[in-house]
Structure 1
Amino acid sequence: MKIAILDNDKYFCDKIKQLIIDNSYVSGFDIDMYESPRIFLENRNKYDILFLEIDLSEIDGIDIVRKLKSNQIIIVVVTNSYDRITEVIGINVAGYIIKNQIDIEFKKIVKEILEYVVINKNIMITTKNDIYCYEPAEILLIEYIDRHLYVYKKNGYDDLGYISIKDVIKTLPIQFVLVNKNQIINIDKIAFMVGMNIKLKYSDMIVEVSRRKRREVFELMIRAINRI
């Protein structure tokens, strides 16, 4: 996941970056800071989330929001004034933060947005010959067997051919967990767990959890229940 911060004030760029790091409930993201709107716009397609100061000197922040309307980027407006927030209502803005209240408001905003992006971002698995794209909710299980990777869904499965399961696990959202050396499950698709065995929804498959993974899987199940 890629995050951009655009603010003429380097102090606030640094502050927002540190707040993201301190308050994040997920890992594996990169943060880039920009003081120049033009340089950011040249690189805008790289990012999933933008923290944007509206009152920029070079280009007005509202104009940047409009330029990004066709991009699939989540924008959080950062401003000194409530007056300008009404200008961005209805044009692709996920939330706002008032600068003099940033320490109070930031934790809730960043938790909700980062978790939303990580959980809902489409999964792309690249093989030698193809690129496979999945919505996280459609995957029940990913299994590596006989040197092939299989993606199991509610209505069947895909054989992706040879690809390392270690390479795939790095790209998956937080609700996917490696439960043994050959199988990755979607925590949200667990029907129930008895002992070391997991029954998945929409399937007759039983997945065995390794002993060292049992506690991690159980804790993730509890988090999933709370999230739902």
Structure 2
Amino acid sequence: MISQVWRLNKLDKAVSFAVCDDDEIICEAICNRIDKLLAKFGLSASIDKYVSPVALYKNIEGGQRKYDALFLDIDMPKLNGIDLAKAIKKAEEAPDIIFVSNREEMVFDTFSVRPFGFVRKNNFTNDLIDTLRSYVNTRMNKNAYIGIKTNNNSVVRKLKVSDIVYIESFRYKQYIYMADNEEIECRMSMEEFEKKLANYDIVRMYKGYLVNLKYVQKIERTGVLVNYKGGVNINVSRDKVQELKAIYLNYLRKMGTVLFNGES
């Protein structure tokens, strides 16, 4: 095991990762790429490299090491990545699992451990960028807040991003609908909101709506059903629906949701 630390200081607590691949060269390459991407995000992290899945399991099971996320190969001797993840997931505070593998045909087999992501080695850079960005947004920034101005810009409110269900634009005003059913009126433009929320899973559904994918119940042919006060339907053009379905399915996969045929 070799430990590396990136000395960036945007978070109060350094994030701890482990990478396990029985090929030492590949393991080193994965660590180096994570290093560069995290630097772009401005984050602080420590990372441990393992070429033995058994050694990683013993360190976690014995309490010597604790990690926020593990990047695991699937094909490894003595203990493959899926079995390793199953063993580790038995712990009360189990780390997130991200598989890094050429075995794309095994992606559905990994759903049993509800991985956070699946990085294909043959599309390594793009998949890793998407996965790390999602990890930052959904795990590290789960308590993120944004500031807004209300009452003719005279009052500043702090809102928890994960509690925003959707934002509606109507007659030069924006209305924010929160998970606790509070409705907030403000005069910020949708463009301002879109810019503030660009790094989160809140997307433009239509010209007058921004919706948090966390609260989407389903996407139908003519619109989106949002989980707010028993359900709110937002009409969307048919051309936009197909784009939104792709975005939503990608979000579900990143969150480790098990998908079945016909699920949208």
Aligned residue identity for 1:35: V
What's the CA shift for 1:103?
2.4
**1:53 aligned to 2:73?**
yes
Look up the SS of the partner of 2:22 in the other structure.
coil
Question: Matches of 1:108 and 1:223 in 2, distance apart?
Answer: 19
**1:22 aligned to 2:44?**
no
- Alignment check: 8 A CA contact 2:74 2:103 kept: no
- Alignment check: 8 A CA contact 1:23 1:111 kept: no
**1:191 aligned to 2:213?**
no
Question: Matches of 1:102 and 1:52 in 2, distance apart?
Answer: 13
**1:66 aligned to 2:86?**
yes
- Alignment check: 8 A CA contact 1:76 1:93 kept: yes
Equivalenced residue count is 145
Look up the SS of the partner of 2:79 in the other structure.
coil
Question: Matches of 1:96 and 1:55 in 2, distance apart?
Answer: 14
Q: So what's the TM-score if we normalise by structure 2?
A: 0.48
Over aligned residues, Cα RMSD in angstroms? 2.8
Give 1:73-88 correspondences, 5 Å limit: 73-88=95-110
- Alignment check: 8 A CA contact 1:5 1:32 kept: yes
Question: Matches of 1:43 and 1:198 in 2, distance apart?
Answer: 51
What's the CA shift for 1:33?
0.5
Look up the SS of the partner of 1:75 in the other structure.
strand
- Alignment check: 8 A CA contact 1:26 1:115 kept: no
**1:6 aligned to 2:20?**
yes
- Alignment check: 8 A CA contact 2:82 2:113 kept: no
The aligned counterpart of 1:117 is: 139
**1:225 aligned to 2:158?**
no
Runs of 5+ consecutive residues of structure 2 not aligned to the other structure: 1-14, 160-192, 203-264
Look up the SS of the partner of 2:112 in the other structure.
coil
Question: Matches of 2:45 and 2:76 in 1, distance apart?
Answer: 25
Question: Matches of 1:34 and 1:198 in 2, distance apart?
Answer: 52
Look up the SS of the partner of 2:36 in the other structure.
helix
The aligned counterpart of 2:164 is: none
**1:36 aligned to 2:74?**
no
Q: So what's the TM-score if we normalise by structure 1?
A: 0.55
The aligned counterpart of 2:116 is: 94
Q: Deviations over 1:83-123 (max 9, x none)?
A: 22221123221111221221232211111113322112xxx
Look up the SS of the partner of 1:77 in the other structure.
strand
Among the aligned pairs, what percent are the same residue?
23
What's the CA shift for 1:79?
1.3
Question: Matches of 2:49 and 2:59 in 1, distance apart?
Answer: 12
Give 1:158-197 correspondences, 5 Å limit: 175=144, 187-188=145-146, 190-192=147-149
- Alignment check: 8 A CA contact 1:5 1:31 kept: yes
Aligned residue identity for 1:5: V
Question: Matches of 1:117 and 1:77 in 2, distance apart?
Answer: 17
What's the CA shift for 1:201?
4.1
Question: Matches of 1:201 and 1:81 in 2, distance apart?
Answer: 44
1:62–1:201 CA distance, 2 compared to 1 (3 A): closer
What's the CA shift for 1:198?
7.1
Q: Deviations over 1:132-174 (max 9, x none)?
A: xxxx3xxxxxxxxxxxxxxxxxxxxxxxxxxxxxxxxxxxxxx
What's the CA shift for 1:43?
2.5
